[in-house]
A and B are shown apart, each in its own frame.
Chain A
Amino acid sequence: MKLVSFHLMPYRPLDLAEAARHRSAWVLLPNRLYDPVKGAEEYARHIDALVYAEHLGFDAIGVNEHHQTAYGLMPAPNLIASALIQRTSNVQIAILGRALPLVSNPIYIAEELAMLDNLSKGRIIAGFVRGIGSEYHSSGVNPYFSHERFHEAHDLITRAWTEPGPFAFDGDHFHLQYVNCWPRPYQQPHPPVWIPSQGSSETVAWASHPSRRYPFLVTFSSADLVARYHTSYREQARQYGYEAAAGQLGWACPIYVADTDSRARTEAAHAIETLFNDFLRQTFEMLMPPGYTSMNSMKNFIRMRSSLGGARPTADSLIESGTALIGSPKTVLGGIEKMRDRTGFGILVALLQFGVLSDALTRRNMDMFAAEVMPKLRD
Chain B
Amino acid sequence: MAAQLRGLNVHDVTIQLHRAGRGPTVLFLHGAGGVPLWLPFFETLAEHHELLVPEHPGFGRSDDPAWIRSIPDLAMFYLDLIEEADLRDIHLIGNSLGGWLAAEILIRDRSRFRDVVLLAPAGIRAKGIPPGDNFIWGPEEAIRNLYHDQTFADRILAAQPDEMQMDVFLRNRFSAAKFGWQPRWLNPDLEKWLHRIKLPALVVWGREDKLLPADYAALWGERLPDARIVMLEACGHLPHVEHANAVARHISGFWQGVRS
Contact = CB atoms under 8 A, between A and B. Distances in A.
B56 to A, nearest CB: 15
Interface stretch (B13-21, B167-175, B211-219): B167-175
A285 interface: yes
Interface in B143-181: 167, 170-171, 173-174, 176-178, 181
A137 B182 CA distance: 10
Contact of A143 (B137, B138, B167, B177): B177
Contact of A299 (B135, B136, B170): B170
B136 A290 contact: no
Given A142-B177, A143-B181, A290-B176, A285 B137 contact: yes
A144 B184 CA distance: 13
Interface residues of A, number: 21
Contacts of B183: 140
Interface string B181-198: 111100000000000000
Contacts of A137: 135-136
Interface residues of B, number: 16
A283 B184 CA distance: 20
Given A291-B177, A295-B171, A140 B137 contact: no
Contacts of A246: none
A264 interface: no
A339 interface: no
Nearest to A299: B170
Contacts of B171: 295
A285 B137 CA distance: 7
Contact of A290 (B137, B167, B177): B177
B182 A28 contact: no
A283 B136 CA distance: 8
A144 B170 contact: no
Interface in A1-60: 23, 27-28
Contact of A144 (B136, B137, B181): B181
A129 B117 CA distance: 45
A192 interface: no
B135 A290 contact: yes
Nearest to A292: B177
Interface in B122-145: 135-138
A291 B137 contact: no
Interface string A251-264: 00000000000000
A195 B134 CA distance: 32
Interface of B: 135-138, 167, 170-171, 173-174, 176-178, 181-184
15 contacts: A28-B136, A136-B181, A140-B182, A140-B183, A141-B182, A142-B177, A145-B178, A289-B135, A290-B174, A290-B177, A291-B174, A295-B167, A295-B170, A298-B170, A299-B170
